C-alpha cells in the first residue's frame, strides 16, 4: 500500500477483555515497529521486528502484551486481560532495509472502560 495501515482506528473494550491491533506496513519494508503514545506524551517503544522475528521486545510492559509477524509483513499486537491503563494510541511504523526514514501509521486508539 501507499502508507502504513492500521486497523481498527478506534477500539473501545471492557476491562479484562482481549484485543488485537493490526498493522500493514509499506510493501517491501522489512523493519516494523510498535509504539504506544499516551495523551500528552511522546511515543514509547514497544517492539521491533526485522522480518518475521522480534529483534527487540524490551519495550513490552508485561506478559499481557505480545506481538507477531508470521510472514514478515502484517503484524498483530495482542493485549490480554486489558486494563484501563492500557488506554493509549498504539502506533505502528516501518522502514526499508537501506533507508532511515521511518513511516508511521495513524494509530489505533484503544480505550479500556
- Total chain residues near another protein (CB under 8 A): 27
Q: How many CA atoms lie within 13 A of 36 on its CB side?
A: 17
* 110: contact with another protein by CB under 8 A: no
Please give the Cα distance from 17 to 86 (Å, whole number): 11
Q: Does 1 sit near another protein (CB under 8 A)?
A: no
List the one residue out of 26, 32, 110, 28 whose CA is nearest residue 75.
32
Q: Which of 34, 48, 79, 112 binds another protein (CB under 8 A)?
A: 48
Closest CB to another protein among residues 102, 113: 102
The answer to whether 44 contacts another protein (rule: CB under 8 A) is: yes
49 makes contact with another protein (CB under 8 A)? no
Considering only 12-20, 21-29, 53-61, 72-80, which stretch makes contact with another protein by CB under 8 A? 53-61
Output the CA–CA distances (angstroms, integers) from residue 101 to 45, 71, 82, 88, 104, in the order listed. 16, 23, 32, 24, 10
Between 13 and 37, whose beta carbon lies closer to another protein?
37
Residue 45 is a binding residue for another protein (CB under 8 A): yes
DSSP run (H or E) holding 46? strand 44-50
Amino acid at each position: 500500500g501507499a502508507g502504513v495501515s492500521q486497523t481498527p482506528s478506534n477500539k473501545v473494550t471492557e476491562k479484562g477483555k482481549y484485543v488485537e491491533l493490526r498493522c500493514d506496513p509499506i510493501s517491501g519494508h522489512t523493519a516494523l515497529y510498535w509504539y504506544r503514545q499516551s495523551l500528552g506524551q511522546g511515543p514509547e517503544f514497544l517492539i521491533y521486528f526485522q522480518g518475521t522475528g522480534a529483534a527487540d521486545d524490551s519495550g513490552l510492559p508485561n506478559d499481557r502484551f505480545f506481538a507477531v509477524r508470521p510472514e514478515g509483513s502484517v503484524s498483530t499486537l495482542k493485549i490480554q486481560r486489558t486494563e484501563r491503563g492500557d488506554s493509549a494510541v498504539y502506533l505502528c511504523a516501518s522502514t526499508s532495509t537501506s533507508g532511515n526514514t521511518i513511516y508511521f501509521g495513524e494509530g489505533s486508539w484503544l480505550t479500556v472502560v
